[in-house]
Structures are given as C-alpha cells and as structure tokens.
Amino acid sequence: MAASEEHYTLPRPSFDKPVKLLIVVAPYYRQIADQLIEGARGEIEACGGTHDTIEVPGALEVPTAIGMAGRLSNYDGFVALGCVIRGETTHYETVCNDSSRGITLLGLQGLAIGNGILTVENMDQAQARAEVAGQNKGGGAAAAALHLIALARKWGGPRSGVGFQPARDEIQIAGQTKDTPSA
C-alpha cells in the first residue's frame, strides 16, 4: 500500500453491550509487536470494549492459542498480531501461509478474528505498517474483529454458555435433583 493512496475505512461499529477481545501476539520483533498492540488496544477502547493480551512464541502458535481460547473462554472476538520478515529460506512461506490458513479456518468456524500478522520483506516495511501514526495495522486488525462481532450479534444475537463448561452429574437428594461437578 502506497502511503499516498487513500482507502475507504468502514465507520466504527457500535455495541449495545460491551465487547471483550483477546489480543494474541507473537512478539518475535518486540518493537513491531508493541506498536501493533498499541494500535489494537486503541481501536478496541474507542468502541468501549475491553481486552486481554497474551503472548505466544511465534506466528504459527497464534491460531492455536485463538482456537483454544475460542473453546475455553468467553471472548467475543480475537486479534491476531505478529510479524514475519522474509529470510533466506522457505520458512517464511510456511509461517505466512500456515498462520493465515489457521486463522481463516477458525474464522470459517464462526470466530470473529482480525488478522494483523504482518508478512513483509524487511524491517522498514514492518515499521511502516505497525506504527500507530502510520498504517496502524494493529488497529486495522482490531477494527476487523469488531466488525465481525457486530455482524455476529446482528445475525445471531448474543451467545451464552460459550466456552468451557465443567461436566455436571445430577444426584437425587431427598427427592430433589441437584447438579454437582463431576470429579
């Protein structure tokens, strides 16, 4: 994207009930990751949302962490952040393709995810895309997740009971049924 090009940005969605997002970041390039996180947090907070942030070892682990959180937690959406810079081997293609594919598959399963994993040729490109005052790709990823959450709420209403629920056994006590956690 050339800096002089102008692009349309959707207006921020609004929410009747607050949203909570999980930012999952691979901080391999810490300076870049910190800028991406700052942008994502700013966008979430501008919509009145809250967020938690976790770090994973690398971009390949981002979709796994999001998948786990999608099954075991109650976040409305997720922001995937990180940076992959081309090196001398084919590892770049593997990391870029597999992390993107994993995020896409989770999205197709119904998770609201904004993908802000940068895939660039060099550090200068990464910095230009990560800077909050620049292209702010962290903020853009958060905005994408927020728009998907808004769509999910529009089409399906708020979900309840999402995430990990401990197994329960019913027992009879003096003619009353009582739920107890399974051991």
Q: Which domains occur in the chain, in start order?
A: 20-181 (3.40.50.960)
* 26/23 Cα distance (integer angstroms): 10
Torsion, Cα 128 39 142 50, to 10 degrees, reads 170
Q: Catalytic residue, from 7, 51, 91, 147: name it.
A: 91
Burial (CB count <10 Å: 0-12, 13-18, 19+), residue 74: middle
- To the query of whether residue 91 is one of the catalytic residues in this protein, the response is yes
Please give the chain's pLDDT, 183 residues, in tens. 455 678 899 999 999 999 999 999 999 999 999 999 999 999 999 999 999 999 999 999 999 999 999 999 999 999 999 999 999 999 999 999 999 999 999 999 999 999 999 999 999 999 999 999 999 999 999 999 999 999 999 998 545 544 555 555 555 556 565 555 554
Contacts of 122 (CB under 8 A, 6+ apart): 85, 86
